Amino acid sequence: MKTIVILTGAGISAESGVKTFRGSNGLWNNYRIEEVASPIAWERDPELVLEFYNQRRKQLFEVSPNTAHHALAKLEKKFDTEIITQNVDDLHERAGSKNILHLHGELKKARSTIDPSLVYELKDWPLNIGDQCEKGSQLRPHIVWFGEAVPAIMDAIQIVKKADIFIVIGTSMVVYPAAGLINYVSNEAKKYLIDPNAEEVSGIKNLTVIRKNAGEGVPKLVEELLEMGEL
The yes or no reply on residue 21 touching ligand NAD (CB under 6 A) is: yes
Q: Nearer Cβ to ligand NAD, position 139 or 214?
A: 214
Task: Check the CA dihedral 165-171-176-177 and report its sign.
Answer: negative
Query: Is 102 among the catalytic positions?
Result: no
Q: Is 9 an interacting residue with respect to ligand NAD (CB under 6 A)?
A: yes
Stretch that binds ligand NAD, among 45-53, 93-101, 121-129, 195-203 (CB under 6 A): 195-203
Q: Is the distance from CB of 164 to CB of 2 less than 8 angstroms? A: yes
Spell out the alpha helix ranges (H) of 61-213. Answer: 67-74, 91-95, 153-161
Cis, bond preceding 151 (omega within 30 deg of 0): no
Q: Does 104 bind ligand NAD (CB under 6 A)?
A: yes
Residue 55's φ and ψ, nearest 5 degrees, are: -65, -40
Q: How far is the CB of 92 from ligand NAD (least distance, A)?
A: 10
Stretch of 21-29, 110-118, 152-160, 223-231 lying at the interface with ligand NAD (CB under 6 A)? 21-29
Q: What is the side-by-side order of every strand in the sheet holding 105-112?
A: 119-121, 105-112, 139-143
d(CA 150, CA 169): 20
Binding mask 134-173 for ligand NAD (x = CB under 6 A): ------------------------------------xxx-
Which residue's CB is nearer to ligand NAD, number 175 or number 226?
175
| Residue 144: partners with Cβ closer than 8 Å, 6 or more residues away | 103, 104, 105, 150, 151
| CA gap 41, 52 in Å, rounded | 11
Antiparallel, parallel or unpaired: β 80-85 and 3-8? parallel
Q: Does 219 bind ligand NAD (CB under 6 A)?
A: no
- Residue choice 69, 195, 210, 222 for contact with ligand NAD (CB under 6 A): 195
Instruction: Assess 87 for contact with ligand NAD (CB under 6 A).
Output: yes
Is residue 197 near ligand NAD by the rule CB under 6 A? yes
Of the candidate residues 11, 167, 191, 193, the single one contacting ligand NAD (CB under 6 A): 11
Candidates 70, 102, 104, 142; catalytic one: 104
Q: Are 86 and 10 in contact (CB under 8 A)?
A: yes
Where do contacts with ligand NAD occur on this chain (CB under 6 A)? 9-11, 13-15, 18, 20-23, 26-27, 86-89, 104, 170-172, 175, 195-197, 213-214
Catalytic residues: 104
